[in-house]
Amino acid sequence: MGFFTKDIKSLNDLFMHGLQDLYYAENQIMKALPGMIEKATDAQLRAGFEKHLAESEGQVHRLRQVFELLEAEPKGDKCPAIDGILREGRDLMSEIDDEDVMNVGLVAAAQAVEHYEITRYGALIAWATELGRTDVVPMFKANLAEEKATDQKLTQMAERRVNPKAEKADKPSKPKSSARRKAPKAATRPVKAKRPAKKARRRA
């Protein structure tokens, strides 16, 4: 049905459609993650996907709690947006042979998913608050925090790939600073030696 449909007549309708779309999306992401884990050869990336799979299971559980509080049946509406993002990721994985390039592509595909989820959770929090359903907001916020943390880790992986020498470039700066600190000490020695000579001339 999609996130925006013709039968939405109120904010509550929009909220419920958003919740159902996101519930569908989380379940589809859980199905897609094992394939991404299998394709990832980078140990850190693989561990990140495994962790997020466990988090996604918890996120689905929180969404079920939201449905329960709303006295509604937990169900998902088919979401073309997330289907398209995941299909693009699958197509990408089927076209890449190089392992290193595969890891880079997986990071990009995963971030596309995270950005979608972050946007949707943000909207649901705003709508739930406006509708006075603050009882469900903590569940949305918990899921949103996990999505943002995952996106941040993926960004860090992408940055290390783009500029892998960044950390090494910072290390030589430490010896230079220590050498500068020692220089003033060497300069003060001849100054101390001249002072007694001046006093001796005055006595003469």
Q: With contact defined as beta carbons under 8 Å apart, do 36 and 106 qualify?
A: yes
**Tens-place pLDDT, residues 68-104:** 999 999 999 888 999 999 999 999 888 888 999 999 9
Q: Span 11-167: which CATH code?
A: 1.20.1260.10
Nearest to 21 by CA among 84, 111, 71: 84
Q: With contact defined as beta carbons under 8 Å apart, do 54 and 141 qualify?
A: no
How far apart CA 102 and CA 74 sit, in angstroms, is 35
**What's the pLDDT at 57?**
95
Residue tagged 């592509």 (tokens)? 105
Nearest to 58 by CA among 26, 28, 82: 26
Residue tagged 């993002």 (tokens)? 85
**Tens-place pLDDT, residues 111-165:** 999 999 999 999 999 999 999 999 999 999 999 999 999 999 999 998 886 555 5
Q: With contact defined as beta carbons under 8 Å apart, do 86 and 30 qualify?
A: no
- Single-letter amino acid, residue 166: A
**Tens-place pLDDT, residues 183-195:** 444 444 444 444 5
Residue tagged 């693009």 (tokens)? 88
**What's the pLDDT at 12?**
95
The whole-model pTM stands at 0.75
3-state secondary structure of 3: coil
Domain edges within the chain: 11-167, 175-203
List helix spans (H) across the chain.
Answer: 11-39, 43-69, 80-95, 99-130, 137-162, 166-170, 173-203
